[in-house]
Homo-oligomer: A and B are copies of this chain.
Amino acid sequence: MMTQDSSDATRFMRQAIALAYQGMAGGHGGPFGAVIVKDGEIVGQGHNRVLSSNDPTAHAEVTAIRDASKNLARFNLSDCEIYVNAMPCPMCMSAILWSRIGKVHYGAPVEAAEKIGFDDKAFYEQLAKPLEERDIPVVVVSECDAEALACLQSWIDNPSRIPY
């Protein structure tokens, strides 16, 4: 017997897939769509818009998070879940962590998606490497050590700062 939960999950995932097709049809970007759900209702949605918006950060999950945050007028989405038609990349998974979304539902099975060319292993490997072994240089501007650190310290020292 299919539970109500399962039926809802199917409905939300189909909406994510529909968004992905719409985005591709419009030439907006890659084959990705996402919906964000709170209390059984969609509160945000998006699709990949890297091409149409010239924004390399405009992945489906990021656009959906921006949409939900705007609609709910808050940056904490801990009472929400996200449905996306493929496993999020490291940028999107980190965006999900920052948004405090409580659960991720993905569509295409990871191994099958990898077999047809969708995987983020290269990025995960880069993130796991020491700085000096990365593909792109990541260097400190040592002349500004103290100034840069003082800037961070000023945030810590402000008792009225709002954590996020």
Contacts and interface: CB of A to CB of B under 8 A. Distances in A.
A95 B91 contact: yes
B98 A151 contact: no
A123 B106 CA distance: 20
Given A123-B97, A139-B104, A154 B31 contact: yes
Interface residues of A, number: 89
A1 B54 CA distance: 41
Interface in A96-125: 96-109, 112-113, 116-118, 123-124
Contacts of A96: 136
Contacts of A30: 155, 161, 164
Interface string A86-98: 1101110111111
A144 B35 CA distance: 15
B73 A105 contact: no
B69 A54 contact: yes
Contacts of A108: 145, 148-149, 151-152
Interface of A: 2, 6, 9-10, 12-14, 17, 20-21, 24, 29-31, 50-51, 54-57, 59, 62, 65-66, 69-70, 72-77, 83, 85-87, 89-91, 93-109, 112-113, 116-118, 123-124, 126-128, 136-145, 147-149, 151-156, 158, 161-162, 164
Q: Lowest 6 A-B CB distances belong to which pairs?
A: A107-B148, A91-B94, A31-B155, A108-B148, A56-B99, A13-B144
Given A116-B152, A116-B153, 10 more contacts: A17-B144, A29-B164, A57-B66, A86-B148, A94-B94, A97-B126, A104-B139, A107-B149, A108-B151, A124-B128
